[in-house]
Structure 1
Amino acid sequence: MTPRLRLTLAASAGACALALGTAAPALAGDSDKAMVSVFHGIPGMTVDVYANGDKLLSDFKPGTVTAPQSLAAGTYDIQIFEAGQSPDGTPALEKKVEVPEGGNATVAAHLSARGDPQLTAYTNDVSQVDPGKARLTVRHVAAAPAVDVRAGGQPVFSDLTNPKEDTAEVDAGTVNADVVLAGTDTVAIGPADLNLKDGTSNVVYAWGSAADKNLALATQTFSGMESAPRAVHAGGSGAAVTPNNPDAWPAWAAAAGVLTVTGVLVARRAAGRRG
């Protein structure tokens, strides 16, 4: 049984600006909006997500990434509760997020390398890629040591640590990917076939806990990178890739922009809990 998580929100200690490069307007005709998606990477905990006291997501299961949510620009108090818990209680996770006009990002609820729950915001790079190419981004959000990510048995990213990400432009096509412990051939996740279509930006999350033996992958795919985006592409869902589910590589799309996140999250696990 997964122990209950207990967290405390600390006072804001500055701001971290996450920005993409030049792009066409993310939301044509709706520039006061922003696109925000959420990834749930805390194993064993189905949650409800609230924004400024209003329920944004219900029964949100681990390993799932949402389709982009269109939100009015402004500051949001994002709260995550165990599913069915009263929003009047203490949230499992909480963070203030400032969303400027035209913004786009994914907010990930996940475990730190030590196994403590935390929230991390990432920008989603949907800038143009060269013909015949696709963008591959890997985000390490698992309670696990450094890893190497391989495609076709060859390292694409090396020594990636939580909560870092790395990105490369690669040849479009189907590749056989896996995640190994850094500097070794010891497979932690996979292998699985990843279909990197021409003109897409593909994000892979390595999530879960090595100690609990539930490491998995989840993906999101942004389309329309072969030319300057002219409109918002949205839809789709997220899914986990595990040794028992190697073919779940979903796709969805979104626009580009800027997100600013403020606040500091301090996590404290219940007595005796360590990832």
Structure 2
Amino acid sequence: MRARPLAGTAAGMLALAAVAAGAAPASAADPAQLSVLHGVPGLTVDVWVNGERTLDDFTPGTLAGPLELPAGTYSVAITAADAADASTPAIGPVDLPLEAGRNYTAAAHLDASGNPTATLFTNDTSATAAGEGRLTVRHIAAAPAVDVLAGGTAVVSGLTNPKEAVLDLPAGTVSASVVAAGTTTPALLGPADVPVAEGTNTIVYAWGSATASPATLALATQTVTGLHSSPSGVDAGELGLVSEPGTNPWLLTVGALGLVGALALAVARGRAVVPASARATRPDEDR
């Protein structure tokens, strides 16, 4: 299924979400919310859900969603573009176990050694104090441990792939950069101004590869709002390569919606359960 223009995709998502919700038992609890990030540089892919091709030619740097889905397990495989089937995936198959009422981001990315992998993150939607916002930093790049500097001082130290760090901060703007652990220069990403909004979880992903020639490190950002009450959802966006001259790598743009809409279509066609050994990494389970 080829990606459609944004307006048509949004309408399709609404219809597909209704189909997916109809497949859930009448007594089902609140749905899960799922966003998807493609963070594997240089690899245009096809995405298969429950054995069905759901998106052709999905490009790096795309962050899509969220879509409300009934709680359950969704089997996902990612292949090279235009593969005949999902029998030789570049990533997966992995299962995405989604709990009712939780907010997730599934990231296809490189591990620290540069091998394609997938990680399912649980987004922190707990309430923030009045006047505060939340900053989440996720390391999903082929790179060693990093520090995150704010005003030249390390506020996150020794962050490794695929871990995250979560900080509750006064609302405002943080001047931040990412450097190799234990150093202050040169910056691998940034420095740049990161807005921290009251009642919002701003999630920043470092993805790509520091060892590629040239390096392909980039940043992607999403925001989860409504942390002073019930979360209102995720506004997804993407950021360009830091190496591009004249660009601000922290500038948000609107993310594509096609992949997550396709996930719902696959749900309507039936779920598949995969072996426990194929499960996506869950960084929240070992913190």
TM bin, normalised by shorter chain, reads 0.7 to 0.9
- Whether the aligned pair in 1 keeps the contact of 2:44 and 2:80 (CA below 8 Å) is yes
CA distance in 2, matches of 1:196, 1:207: 21
**Partner in structure 2 of residue 37 of structure 1:** 35
Tell me: CA distance 1:185–1:232, structure 2 relative to 1, closer, same or farther (3 Å).
closer
Query: Per-residue displacement from partner, 1:118-161 (whole Å, max 9, x unpaired)?
Result: 11111000111112211111111111111101122221101111
CA distance in 1, matches of 2:175, 2:70: 40
**TM-score under structure 2 normalisation?**
0.72
- 2:252 alignment partner AA: W
Tell me: CA distance 1:241–1:153, structure 2 relative to 1, closer, same or farther (3 Å).
farther
- Whether the aligned pair in 2 keeps the contact of 1:64 and 1:240 (CA below 8 Å) is no
Query: Per-residue displacement from partner, 1:41-97 (whole Å, max 9, x unpaired)?
Result: 111012222221334444322122211122232221111122332335422111022
**Partner in structure 1 of residue 171 of structure 2:** 172
CA distance in 2, matches of 1:171, 1:90: 47
SS, match of residue 108 in structure 1 = strand
Tell me: CA distance 1:217–1:72, structure 2 relative to 1, closer, same or farther (3 Å).
same
Higher strand share: 1
SS, match of residue 136 in structure 1 = strand
CA distance in 2, matches of 1:114, 1:218: 20
**Partner in structure 2 of residue 145 of structure 1:** 144
**Partner in structure 2 of residue 70 of structure 1:** 68
Tell me: CA distance 1:209–1:177, structure 2 relative to 1, closer, same or farther (3 Å).
same
SS, match of residue 35 in structure 2 = strand
State the Cα distance separating 1:105 from its structure 2 match. 1.0
**Partner in structure 2 of residue 193 of structure 1:** 193
- Whether the aligned pair in 2 keeps the contact of 1:129 and 1:199 (CA below 8 Å) is yes
Matched, 1:249 2:247: no
Higher helix share: 2
- Whether the aligned pair in 2 keeps the contact of 1:190 and 1:241 (CA below 8 Å) is no
**Partner in structure 1 of residue 4 of structure 2:** none
**Partner in structure 2 of residue 21 of structure 1:** none
- 1:63 alignment partner AA: G
State the Cα distance separating 1:34 from its structure 2 match. 1.9
Structure 1: tracts of 5 or more residues without a match: 1-28, 253-260, 267-275
- 2:223 alignment partner AA: T
- Whether the aligned pair in 1 keeps the contact of 2:223 and 2:236 (CA below 8 Å) is no
SS, match of residue 67 in structure 1 = strand
CA distance in 1, matches of 2:75, 2:278: 12
SS, match of residue 65 in structure 2 = coil
CA distance in 2, matches of 1:86, 1:193: 44
**TM-score under structure 1 normalisation?**
0.75
**Partner in structure 1 of residue 208 of structure 2:** 208
**Partner in structure 2 of residue 98 of structure 1:** 97
- 2:205 alignment partner AA: Y
**Partner in structure 1 of residue 106 of structure 2:** 107
Tell me: CA distance 1:114–1:90, structure 2 relative to 1, closer, same or farther (3 Å).
same
**Partner in structure 1 of residue 268 of structure 2:** none
Tell me: CA distance 1:51–1:103, structure 2 relative to 1, closer, same or farther (3 Å).
farther
CA distance in 2, matches of 1:194, 1:243: 18
Q: How many residues align?
A: 228
Query: Per-residue displacement from partner, 1:188-231 (whole Å, max 9, x unpaired)?
Result: 11122211111110111111111111111111111111x211x6
**Partner in structure 1 of residue 221 of structure 2:** 219
Q: 2:277 aligns with which of 255, 261, 264?
A: 264
